[in-house]
Chains A and B, each alone.
Chain A
């Protein structure tokens, strides 16, 4: 039995935390948002130089080839620190290429994504794949919101008949900024009018969503843990009625429930990471990881505000960054209903078979 990250990945986690803490300690993300700096290009270059962006990409495509465990761990830590970089968007596009691109497509795009020179994003949009149709290698339709679509160079677009790669500077591509819940990430309305698109060799929207859902689950687990840590820290420091509020059972039990939800979510996410390499198990594992992580992050984020009391409702408390991210993340790759249906249908099918 070895159901844990490898020792190498655990050692690497310390380094990842240090890098994120040095540049984005608590409060720094909010200051960036206040300054309107939604993309820290210097930090992005640093992440590229350190190999984080291509951590799961094979060496022959310019990556570090350290596998999905390492990628999941980094995603988790990025989810906790919330740096203003298009990390999830770009590694998501790389994941789509890795899993479903041809050798030539990988060779063309992955080296740029792995070093950060090319920025990718994924356009699932609501309701997922159904709004965009392809005719003769060209796409027409609209996707919104597309996260980090304004700073990305390429987008992996989910269409009814498969996955397409679109260069966002091509003719027929229009990008308009839209406000979303998440202040750290920008969103766009992506309008494609007979836009040139290259179909990926394989894969469909549901298959890509499964893979991205596992990554997003780690991001949510990281966010849930960070919100829980914040709440625990505050409950130890804040006094009321002559004692730390963390000594009251009303607070303790609330935080114990957040801990339990986060640990269950983490455990489902670990299984999801394993399932990335075991296709038959992936649909169920991804749905469970996704649903558990969304539930945990949502709970952790709202109770973090509650534990902080009135202070938690202020802009400067930073609690809202997690509160916003939790909800935005929970719908970006399909909302709860999509994943509940997918989970139950897959289980039903597995038993019928």
Chain B
């Protein structure tokens, strides 16, 4: 065993560092992760950084050179992410476009689509969003109800999407809709690329439990889409959506926020009955459990990186990272507030311990257990695709979509 880079990996890491050093300052330690809506300035900064990376060959490391990518390896992709994490780079708005949408366009796009979309996405000119979830279709995504009806050379779309990140500044969306409700639910879907400025699209921000707005609802009222905006065949929308979701595995990482180091620092700073909280055996029990989990995840990640560096494709076992870290984040936030005693309720970053890190985390942690596959969906994936247990019984099996029982809406 050996944690070092191969000579080729070390050379790439040095190249990445040289580029980052030349363009970005290093991050400050222990900065609170502030959960707030992106401003136009944030978006502009993200676009500028994306362009800079693209110009230097660090934006599309896994992309083919034909579209401006590097045609690099999974390990190079990981190494760049590891290095970039150390710098104070702008929060990106390109994960969905570059990491998920464009690989899907490359898999299913027409020559015209391939000529039009990938390059501007890579160079930071165009932002993409994902129009998948609906109020009645989350974990059961294939139960979506937004309709598209053919009308001459166009399709007319009516319905509603939800949980769309970046909707109000996205240029394009990846849209999956129902084109045939009379067949089984997975068979009646079709996929489209939609210009977000098309008339009939209305975007309304969702206010989250923290009060911030990072997601929107997107309403479609008689939105006309030309058939040339279709991605993949009519009725093959599920296949296209699955391709996009498979790429999500690369972009949804572990839940960011206070982890062992932060709760350990707090436990050393706080005093209980005159002695450090870290010397209390009940506190130690919690700390030890989180250390073991955090270390376990780290080494599990190194094991899967080893597999990747040997050319193995990322598998469903990667579901572990989000499943474990999201709950851990919520538990650490909860305990951090407890450790602070009565002051734990204070959210004012000027007064609260560690600038309100734990209080903020408490209010965004719930989303980490839901977005990108709920805890429950991830457990199903592990059970079925890793352990080989049989699929759950389904009440909608073999039924046409319009015959599937629904609750009162």
Contacts and interface: CB of A to CB of B under 8 A. Distances in A.
Contacts of A235: 389
Contacts of B392: 247-249, 252
Contact of B390 (A2, A247, A259, A295): A247
B383 interface: yes
Contacts, number: 152
A257 interface: yes
B380 A2 contact: no
B2 interface: yes
Nearest to B386: A259
A343 B303 contact: no
B1 A268 contact: no
Interface stretch (B58-66, B159-167, B283-291): B283-291
Interface stretch (B107-115, B180-188, B317-325): B317-325
Contact of A256 (B1, B293, B295, B383): B383
B324 A291 contact: no
A347 B263 CA distance: 13
Main secondary structure of the interface of B (DSSP, over half): helix
A232 B387 CA distance: 7
A244 B386 CA distance: 17
Contacts of A218: none
Contacts of A337: 281
Interface string A48-70: 00000000000000000000010
Contacts of B305: 1, 3
A2 B300 CA distance: 12
Contact of A343 (B75, B291, B298, B324): B291
Interface residues of A, number: 48
Interface in A242-295: 243-244, 246-249, 251-253, 255-257, 259-260, 263-268, 270-271, 273-274, 287-288, 291-292, 295
Contacts of B298: 267
A34 interface: no
A198 to B, nearest CB: 34
A264 B307 CA distance: 16
A252 B303 CA distance: 25
A271 B387 contact: no
Contacts of B389: 232, 235-236, 244, 246-247, 251-252, 255
B345 interface: no
B306 A1 contact: yes
A244 to B, nearest CB: 5
B376 interface: yes
A247 B393 CA distance: 7
B101 interface: no
Contacts of A232: 387-389
A220 B287 CA distance: 22
A264 B289 CA distance: 12
Interface of B: 1-6, 9, 75, 264, 268, 278, 281, 284-285, 287-289, 291-293, 295-300, 302-303, 305-307, 309, 317, 320, 323-324, 376, 378-380, 382-384, 386-393
